[in-house]
Structure 1
């Protein structure tokens, strides 16, 4: 769904003050929800990175990273082929 800012502003201008207050509350709710989701994702990433670091694994070489990428791509291609049958 795509609404232009200009159209949205025109609709807002037509609302009575009480409704504008409700719209503002809803916008604040959306912003808060997005901020909480971002904070939660950041926390989960930090926890995952800490667990990974605690494993004391040696870093992957560029060749190992490329091999992992190729393995996943091959697996996905195989899965897509099986889905089409």
Structure 2
């Protein structure tokens, strides 16, 4: 465990139980947001490959150079 984690744990130990529940909710929120961002990035990567044939064409080449 690193120093930052130890400091955080000590701070958590000083909180009343109702505040610990709030902290847990917030941590769950952060984890969910991270998961959603990873999913969005993965979906964009897959979509990029799927749309490559549509996006990469001679008609649109002029727009690529802008």
- TM-score, normalised relative to structure 2: 0.74
Root mean square deviation, CA, Å: 2.1
Provide the rounded CA distance (Å) in 1 between the counterparts of 2:53 and 2:14.
55
Structure number with greater Rg is: 1
Task: Give aligned pairs, total.
Answer: 55
- Structure 2 partner of 1:49: 49
Provide the rounded CA distance (Å) in 2 between the counterparts of 1:31 and 1:43.
18
SS of aligned partner of 2:15: coil
Task: Find runs of 4+ consecutive structure 1 residues off by over 2 angstroms.
Answer: none
How far residue 17 of structure 1 moved from its aligned partner, in angstroms, is 0.3
Structure with greater contact order relative to length (CA < 8 Å, sep ≥ 6): 2
SS of aligned partner of 1:4: helix
Give ranges in structure 2 of 5+ residues lacking alignment.
56-66
Give ranges in structure 1 of 5+ residues lacking alignment.
56-85
- TM-score, normalised relative to structure 1: 0.58
